[in-house]
Amino acid sequence: MIAPVVGVLFDGFAYGMLLFLLSVGLSVTLGMMNFVNLAHCAFAMLGGYVTVTLMEAAGWPFFATLPIAFLAAALASVVLERVLYRRLYRASELDQVLLTIGIAFISVAIAAYIYGTIQQPVRLPSYLRGSFTVMGVSIAVYRLFLVGVSLVITLLLIAALEYTRFGAQVRAAVDNQRMARGLGINVDGTFAVTFALGSGLAGLGGALAIEIIGLDPSFALTYLIYVLIVVSMGGLGSIGGSFVAATLLGISDMAGKYYVPEIGSFLIYLVMVSLLMWRPAGLFGRR
């Protein structure tokens, strides 16, 4: 009786963790520079395709591809940041939206050109496949792995933000950019590094996501909406907020599709709009 509910909760939580990995970078960079980067999921998609290519074409093991997925996304983001993004830090959000959605469109087209529009397969190592049952609840090994990885990354992020010098600079910049600059913090440099890290995490998330939500060229746009929901609900620049929002979204989306499939995504959009009306700055936002 209770087992299916717990099963849905667990799957939803694992899904939420995935959304968290995909969105946390955007949340921090948005909080810092107020730069609306709608190409964020394009970096995630890049990570996914890097993993697929390395495994299929070069025969790499799954785990070995993950750091490369991270690095590739981080590197691509640095290039774009240097060439295009930094021209628009003081521009209107409309210009930022247009530029970055343009980049997302281009990434979709390039992915379709190289890989076609089909779903990409990922062959997991045998020990990540299958599932086991605990007290009647079926737990997929991969989802458990995903939850583990995400929790470790969350803890690392929080620790880095709280206890390192770099983390203190990031917090200061998110808190009050002008004051941070006044204190002699190199906000642009801090932002560039944070941006690369956040995009790298998205790339890692994209690689880990293939098994759960698949990978095709529309990824960059489809999951953008989910990521934006997480970011706006959690509050800009708040890691804890993103974590809670991603968990809520993952569980409610999974539960909605499981119990009331006929209304589709109606529920999560409704939740998002009502939440934003209640708290425009998100659950944990301060602005």
Partner 1 sequence: MADMTGTALAPQLYLQAQARWRAIEVAFWLATLLPFVLLPNYLVLASQIAITALFALSLDLILGYAGIVSLGHAAFFGLGAYTAGIISKFGWGEPLSGLLVASILAGTVGYASSFIIARFRHLALIMITLGLGLLLHEAANSAHWLTGGADGLQGVKIWRLLGRFNFDLWGYTAYAYSLIVLFLVFLVARRLIHSPFGLALRGIRENSVRMPAIGAPSRSHIRTVYTIAAVIAGVAGALLAQTTETVSLEVLSFGRSADVVVILILGGAGRLYGGLIGAIIYMVARDQFSGINPQFWYFWIGSLLVAVVIFLPNGILGGLAALAARWRSRS
Q: Which amino acid is at 1?
A: M
Taking the C-alpha atoms of residue 167 and residue 163, their distance in angstroms, rounded to an integer, is: 7
* CA 120 to each of CA 7, 24, 123: distance values in angstroms, whole numbers, following the listed order: 26, 25, 10
- Between the two ends of the chain, the Cα-to-Cα distance in Å is 43
Q: Which is nearer to partner 1, 12 or 237 (CB)?
A: 237
Q: Which of 157, 226, 181, 227 is nearest to 33 (CA)?
A: 181
Minimum distance of partner 1 from residue 235's CB (angstroms) = 11
User: How many residues make contact with partner 1 (CB under 8 A)?
Assistant: 46
Phi, psi of 132 (to 5 degrees): -135, 170
User: For residue 11, is it left (φ>0), alpha (ψ between -120 and 50) or beta?
Assistant: alpha
Q: Which residue type sits at 114?
A: I
Q: Segment near partner 1 (CB under 8 A), from 4-12, 144-152, 161-169, 228-236? A: 228-236
Q: Is 98 in the site for partner 1 (CB under 8 A)?
A: yes
Binding flag, residue 94, partner 1 (CB under 8 A): yes
Residue with Cβ nearer partner 1 (125 or 264): 264
Residues 161-200, one symbol each (x = binds partner 1 by CB under 8 A, - = not), give ----------------------------------------
**Radius of gyration of the chain measured on its C-alpha atoms:** 19
Binding track over 110-149 against partner 1, x by CB under 8 A: x-xx---x--------------------------------
- Give the residues lining the site for partner 1 (CB under 8 A): 30, 34, 36, 84, 87-88, 91-95, 97-99, 101-110, 112-113, 117, 217, 225, 228-229, 232, 236, 262-266, 269-270, 272-273, 276-277, 280-281
